[in-house]
Amino acid sequence: MTDHAAPARPLRIGILGAARIVELSVIEPARATGHRVVAIAARNPDRARGFAQQHGIERVHGSYQALLDDPELEGIYNALVNSQHARWNIAALRAGKHVLSEKPFTANADQALAVREVATSSDRRIVEGFHYLHHPMTRRLRQIVESGQLGGLRHVEIDMQMAAPPDDDPRWSYELAGGALMDIGCSALHACRQLGRWTSGEPRVVSAKGGERAGRPEVDEWMTVELEYPDGLPGPRHGTWYRRTSG
């Protein structure tokens, strides 16, 4: 593990949801960088207490709103299910907290606009948890693309695959904003958009197709999208991205 200088004053963090991703996304990084995970709240209080005991979290709140009202907290990590991201991201901003939201930070475009409106009228910041963007490899990729040392961007293709979750996993729930696109496909789309921002502009959707999970109407098991970058970008101007395996 890389050594980090201790911060001048540790950031005081609260967590919404006791999801499995919290340990890797916040608990371990906070421990490594000298910050404090002060509080947690979860739908199941027993799960929250067990999670807090396991990871040395200082206190457990009885509700999400009680956690947001905690005056000691400066930043919130939202690890709730996708369908709850918008509601509690907005609530956290209104409570005067900075927000790191698990991706995607809302379930649809209308919700995204609502969160943006609250964020732009606030002095707090909200960040979507696409960690790849801050990886040294991505920073190097940006340098290469922007410098033109290998020529212009000609083609983008991203293929993401992972084993399908169990049948009872919330990622197969339409009501919870599940599906392949919302789970990991959003990362591929985000990467395609970033490449556009570093070159001629963001891409537009040309076509898209996907397949439903058997027995789960309107929940995508896989999806492929063709994108086109703005005129002026040489060569094939499309990105094809995302497919989830079915087992």
Q: Which residues are catalytic?
A: 103
**CB contact at 8 A, 34 and 6:** yes
- Helix (H) or strand (E) run with residue 117 in it: helix 109-120
Q: What is the rounded distance in angstroms from the CA atom of residue 177 to the CA atom of residue 140?
A: 33
Query: Tokens 């087992």, residue?
Result: 247
CB proximity list for 22: less than 8 A, separation 6 or greater: 15, 51, 77, 79
Q: What is the rounded distance in angstroms from the CA atom of residue 135 to the CA atom of residue 137?
A: 5
- Helix (H) or strand (E) run with residue 194 in it: helix 186-197
